[in-house]
Amino acid sequence: MAVSLFNTSAPLAAIDSEIRAKVSAILDAGVYVLGPEVRAFESEFAAYTGTDHAVGVANGTDALVLALRALGVGPGDEVIVPSFTFYASAEAIPHTGARPVFCDVDPETMLITPDTVKAVMTANTKAVIAVHLFGNVAPVEEIEALGVPVLEDAAQAAGTVLEDGRRPGALGTIATWSFYPSKNLGAFGDGGAITTNDDILAETVRTLRFHGSRDKQTFEMVGHNSRLDELQAGILRVQLPHLDTWADGRRAAGRHYEEAGLGELVSLPVAASGSRPAWHLYVVRSERADELRTVLNDAGIGARAYYRTPAHLQPAMHEWGAGLTLPGTDEAARTNLAIPVSPVLSRAEADEVVAAAAALAPA
């Protein structure tokens, strides 16, 4: 049985007709930019995340840049960011004129911690980007207690919830989201959002996303052209009521792997204390990760290593990352392997993955 790493189409099959009807209605209305669908999605997504404001933007990377600018980050500032993350988390920082400062992660959760942040803080630290990696939840409140605002990079955490009912996106000062098609809540193209409870930050982001203008006449800031369009907003609105069901399916996929005995072969993902992650990626750890990937791929099972070259070692980050020692990051980068996960992954598929993994010859 072949098992793909992602299965984005099956969960959408049940709402295909509703999505097509929504797209048709938007085309008939002829409004495509910052119209009623965007406003409605912003209201609904703010309510879902438990925040006062959601602002739709063009993509998750723009969301990071605009959120940093709204926080006042600029030349001479430092922004702490994990190196074990998608490159965009770090890439957004130099666009503001600030300097990325890379911190380590706990190799077990693959998240930043108050200790790894504190180790690199200076008087110039303006903000910390806490990445909710693979759907897991970074300790935002403990990091903010160090005295700096936290920007949550929640791109991979849609559907994750804390045991007390709160959600990523409402834990720090401001948060960013990506709706790239493979995300837990995915558009049919690029899309992103920023959530916050701060009225001033929200208004600043709204101004920045439209060329630094509030009224299309007066331009108060050097802004950006970064807007979530009506078609993507409409599609996201259709999907949003199903997100929690899909998140439950992702958590169920993790239980299938546990019950199938995968933990006897590799180290399973570790949920942060007090969290119920909606696994965007189900990332196991093994000292033989690359061998395991080959075995799984040969059996028709999707498997992929993430961030083997961490952000601080990427060529464009040489100025800020050269010579750093980040042992937790090195371990996470070397040992991680993503295996199939989706809202509809079955126990039979999990059994197939585990059986294939068990075929790896003993060292």
Residues with active-site annotation: 183
Angstrom CA distances, 108 to 105, 136, 225, 358, stand at 9, 11, 39, 22
Tokens 């959002």 belong to: 193
Helix 199-209 and helix 60-70: axis angle, to 10°?
Answer: 120
C-alpha to C-alpha distance for 177 and 167, rounded to whole angstroms: 13
For residue 194, give the H/E element and its range.
strand 192-196
Angstrom CA distances, 136 to 5, 59, 276, stand at 18, 21, 8
| Burial (Cβ within 10 Å: 0-12, 13-18, ≥19) of residue 363 | exposed
Beta carbons within 8 Å of 221's beta carbon, 6+ residues apart? 207, 208, 212
100 phi, psi to nearest 5 deg: -75, 135
**Are 171 and 154 within 8 A, CB to CB?**
no
Beta carbons within 8 Å of 207's beta carbon, 6+ residues apart? 213, 214, 220, 221, 223
**Are 225 and 62 within 8 A, CB to CB?**
no
Tokens 């929504």 belong to: 22
Where do the DSSP E strands lie in 154-191?
161-162, 174-178
DSSP3 helix / strand / coil % (the chain, rounded to 5): 40, 15, 45
